[in-house]
Structure 1
Amino acid sequence: MLQRFFILCSGADSAILKTCSEGEQNKYAGIGATVFFTAVMAFLASAYALYTVFDTIYAAIFFGLIWGLLIFNLDRFIVSTIKKRDSIKSELLQATPRILLAVIIAVVISKPLEMKIFEKEINQVLLERKNELTLANKDQIALQYTPTIEKLNQDIATLKSEIDTQEAETNALYDTYITEAEGTAGTMLLGKGPVYAEKREKHDAALAELQQLKQVNAEKIVGLETQIDDLSIEYAKTVTDSQPIIDGFDGLMARINALGELPWFPSFFIFLLFLAIETSPIIAKLLAPKGEYDIKLEEEESVLKTWVTQKVRQREQILATDISLNHKIYSEIENEEAVYAHKKKKTEELLKLQADAFHDLQVKSL
């Protein structure tokens, strides 16, 4: 039963193969097994690749099964259409497009399995990329907020500088009226005279302005700091909202690109392995000598071709004979007066009927 299934997978004519030796049947069962297991590998590879796309095992298995059946059908078609010929050159010529197709299939099959085999290394590459993208994303988002925050900080510094300047001026006035009272500066008179009162009045006015300036600027600074805090919160929220996109940067194309950054040598040998698996049925048929099955198949094809050619030529002869007979018959009829008179009579009747019909149509249109 298993042998019959693999023979079915090989695309061979089971009716002809039953009449062949056991060794010939085993050969085609082996070719069919290669086709079957290649399709199984294609199913596993495509299911894993599609799982990285859909993130659901059911969709991956469904579409992977369709892809596996497609590869199975292609491989079966490729193997079944290669016919053994007496010339190796003609066999290579008919096998060349099929080998190219097998190479394409091998590339498609091997790539997802390479990603699975080197999954840990690919994850490391993707982690580094995600870290780079996270930093770049923060810098890019910061460009939207940094100029505004820097301007607000500059405004805060300006307000604080105004307070410091006013406070320095007030302190200077304080030192002026104190030294005037001590007699160490100004009029050099000890005691609180008119000059002292004047300087004390200027200091008190400046101190009142300083207190008012501190209060006004403090309110402004609180407002500016609140804006900075709001911008910082908004910046952090924007970074947090965009992070899931970066975390999801592990799709099929990202993994293929990450695989391309790994050393090529191991991947190349995995590709060669799948290329050998995919082309093994074709190579086996090319290298195998012309067997009993090939001879019997060629004989049946030859019988069918001869029969078809015979039928075509018979139909050509029948057509040529029929044309010759018709020509002869119509030539003889052409010279018979009775046929001429009958044809003339019927034509006259037809013309009369046409004239009457035209006359009736003209009368109706009046």
Structure 2
Amino acid sequence: MLNRFFWMCSGADTDILENSSKAEQNKFAGIGGTVFFTAVMATVAASYALYTVFDNVYSSIFFGLIWGLLIFNLDRFIVSTIKKSDNKWKEIWQATPRIILAIIIAIVIAKPLELKIFEKEINQVLLEQKNDLTLANKEQIANQFTPEITSIQSEIENLKQEINLKEIEVNELYNTYIAEAEGREGTKILGKGPVYKEKRDKHDALLSELQQLKAENKLKIANKETTIASLISQQKNQEVTTQPIIDRFDGLMARINALDKLPWLPSFFIFLLFLAIETSPIVAKVLAPKGEYDYKFEDAENAVKTWVTQKVNQRKEVLQTDTILNEKIYKDIAEEDELYNYKRNKARELMQQQSDAFHKSQQKIIG
């Protein structure tokens, strides 16, 4: 039962194989087994690759099975179309396009399995890339908000500087009128005279301006700090909003690119393994000598070909004979007087009817 299943997988004629030797049966069972297990690995590879895309187990398995059946049918077709002949170079030339197709299939099957085999290493590469993307994303977002924040901070510093300058000016006036009262500067007369009063009034007026300036600038600074806090909050929100996009940076294309950053030699050997598996049925059929099955299959094909050719030739002979007979029959009939007289009378009747019809139509026109 299992042998018949593998024979079917190899694309061989099971009726011929049943009457062939054990060696031939085992050979085609091995070829069919290779085709079958290649399709199984293709199903696993496609399911994993699609899982990285859909993130759904059932959808991945469903489409993976479809892909496996497609690879199975394609491999079975490739193997079954290679026919043994007495010319080895003809067989190699016949197998060349099929080998090229097998190489393409091997690449398609091997790549998803490489992704699974090197999953941990790929995850490490993806983690580094995600960290770099996170830093770059924060830098890009910061570039959107930093100029405005820096400008507002500069305005706040200017407001504070304005207060500081006013305080320095008030303190200088304070020291001036105190020195006048103590007789250390100005008139150098000890006591609170008219000059002292003048300087004191000037200081008090400037002190009042300072207090008003502090109140105004304090309100402006508070508003600007609120604006800065709002901008920083927007910046943080944008970082939080865009971070999930970076966290989901682990799709099929990202993993393939991450795999390319790993050492190439292990991936290359895995590819060679699948290439050997995929091409082994074709190579086996090309290298194997012409066996009992091949002779029987060739004999069956030649029998059908001979039968079809014979039927075509018979149809040609029948057509040729029928054509000759028809020519001879019609030639003999053409020489008979009875047929000649019959057709002459019919022609006379037809011309008379045409003449009568023409006469009637002319009478209707004349009225």
- For 1:355 and 1:143, locate their aligned partners in 2 and report how far apart those are by CA, in whole Å: 106
1:347, distance to aligned residue in structure 2 (A): 5.9
Query: Which residue number in structure 2 is paired with residue 23 of structure 1?
Result: 23
- For 1:135 and 1:355, locate their aligned partners in 2 and report how far apart those are by CA, in whole Å: 107
Distance of aligned partners of 1:347 and 1:243 in 2 relative to their CA distance in 1, 3 Å threshold: farther
- Alignment-mate amino acid for residue 67 of structure 1: W
Query: Which residue number in structure 1 is paired with residue 89 of structure 2?
Result: 89
Distance of aligned partners of 1:354 and 1:299 in 2 relative to their CA distance in 1, 3 Å threshold: farther
Query: Which residue number in structure 1 is paired with residue 14 of structure 2?
Result: 14
- For 1:70 and 1:221, locate their aligned partners in 2 and report how far apart those are by CA, in whole Å: 71
- Alignment-mate amino acid for residue 308 of structure 1: V
- For 2:68 and 2:91, locate their aligned partners in 1 and report how far apart those are by CA, in whole Å: 28
Query: Which residue number in structure 2 is paired with residue 203 of structure 1?
Result: 203
- For 1:30 and 1:63, locate their aligned partners in 2 and report how far apart those are by CA, in whole Å: 27
Distance of aligned partners of 1:186 and 1:350 in 2 relative to their CA distance in 1, 3 Å threshold: farther
Query: Which residue number in structure 1 is paired with residue 303 of structure 2?
Result: 303
Query: Which residue number in structure 1 is paired with residue 241 of structure 2?
Result: 241
> Helix, strand or coil for the counterpart of 2:141?
helix
1:345, distance to aligned residue in structure 2 (A): 5.5
1:355, distance to aligned residue in structure 2 (A): 8.7
1:276 aligns with 2:276: yes
Query: Which residue number in structure 2 is paired with residue 150 of structure 1?
Result: 150
Query: Which residue number in structure 2 is paired with residue 117 of structure 1?
Result: 117
How many residues are paired up? 364
Distance of aligned partners of 1:2 and 1:190 in 2 relative to their CA distance in 1, 3 Å threshold: same
Query: Which residue number in structure 2 is paired with residue 262 of structure 1?
Result: 262
> Helix, strand or coil for the counterpart of 1:45?
helix
1:316, distance to aligned residue in structure 2 (A): 1.4
Distance of aligned partners of 1:261 and 1:355 in 2 relative to their CA distance in 1, 3 Å threshold: farther
Alignment of 1:1-366 (within 5 A): 1-343=1-343, 352=353
- For 1:56 and 1:299, locate their aligned partners in 2 and report how far apart those are by CA, in whole Å: 52
- For 2:146 and 2:350, locate their aligned partners in 1 and report how far apart those are by CA, in whole Å: 101
Distance of aligned partners of 1:340 and 1:203 in 2 relative to their CA distance in 1, 3 Å threshold: farther
- For 2:349 and 2:197, locate their aligned partners in 1 and report how far apart those are by CA, in whole Å: 149
> Helix, strand or coil for the counterpart of 2:284?
helix
Distance of aligned partners of 1:280 and 1:216 in 2 relative to their CA distance in 1, 3 Å threshold: same
How big is each residue's C-alpha offset from its partner over 1:172-192, in whole Å with a ceiling of 9 and x where there is no partner? 111111111111111111111
1:353, distance to aligned residue in structure 2 (A): 7.6
1:100, distance to aligned residue in structure 2 (A): 0.4
- Alignment-mate amino acid for residue 326 of structure 1: N
- For 2:7 and 2:320, locate their aligned partners in 1 and report how far apart those are by CA, in whole Å: 47
1:350, distance to aligned residue in structure 2 (A): 6.5
> Helix, strand or coil for the counterpart of 2:237?
helix
How big is each residue's C-alpha offset from its partner over 1:176-224, in whole Å with a ceiling of 9 and x where there is no partner? 1111111111111111111111111111010011001001000000000
- For 2:273 and 2:344, locate their aligned partners in 1 and report how far apart those are by CA, in whole Å: 86
1:336, distance to aligned residue in structure 2 (A): 4.0
- For 2:73 and 2:131, locate their aligned partners in 1 and report how far apart those are by CA, in whole Å: 44
> Helix, strand or coil for the counterpart of 2:184?
coil
- Alignment-mate amino acid for residue 275 of structure 1: L
Stretch moving more, 203-212 or 329-338: 329-338
> Helix, strand or coil for the counterpart of 1:262?
coil
1:115, distance to aligned residue in structure 2 (A): 0.6
> Helix, strand or coil for the counterpart of 1:250?
coil
- For 1:17 and 1:350, locate their aligned partners in 2 and report how far apart those are by CA, in whole Å: 74
TM-score w.r.t. the length of structure 1 is 0.94
Distance of aligned partners of 1:348 and 1:197 in 2 relative to their CA distance in 1, 3 Å threshold: farther
How big is each residue's C-alpha offset from its partner over 1:139-161, in whole Å with a ceiling of 9 and x where there is no partner? 11111111111111011111111
What RMSD over aligned residues (CA atoms) do the two structures have, in Å?
Answer: 2.2
- Alignment-mate amino acid for residue 272 of structure 2: L
1:348, distance to aligned residue in structure 2 (A): 6.7
> Helix, strand or coil for the counterpart of 1:127?
helix
1:328, distance to aligned residue in structure 2 (A): 2.7
- Alignment-mate amino acid for residue 179 of structure 1: A
How big is each residue's C-alpha offset from its partner over 1:254-282, in whole Å with a ceiling of 9 and x where there is no partner? 00000001001000000000000001111
- For 1:350 and 1:223, locate their aligned partners in 2 and report how far apart those are by CA, in whole Å: 116
1:39, distance to aligned residue in structure 2 (A): 0.4
1:63, distance to aligned residue in structure 2 (A): 0.4
- Alignment-mate amino acid for residue 171 of structure 1: N
Percent of aligned pairs sharing the same letter: 64
In the alignment, structure 1 segments of 5+ residues that lack a partner are: none
> Helix, strand or coil for the counterpart of 1:86?
coil
- For 2:273 and 2:248, locate their aligned partners in 1 and report how far apart those are by CA, in whole Å: 32
- For 2:356 and 2:82, locate their aligned partners in 1 and report how far apart those are by CA, in whole Å: 71
1:333, distance to aligned residue in structure 2 (A): 3.5
- For 2:357 and 2:174, locate their aligned partners in 1 and report how far apart those are by CA, in whole Å: 138
- For 1:355 and 1:101, locate their aligned partners in 2 and report how far apart those are by CA, in whole Å: 79
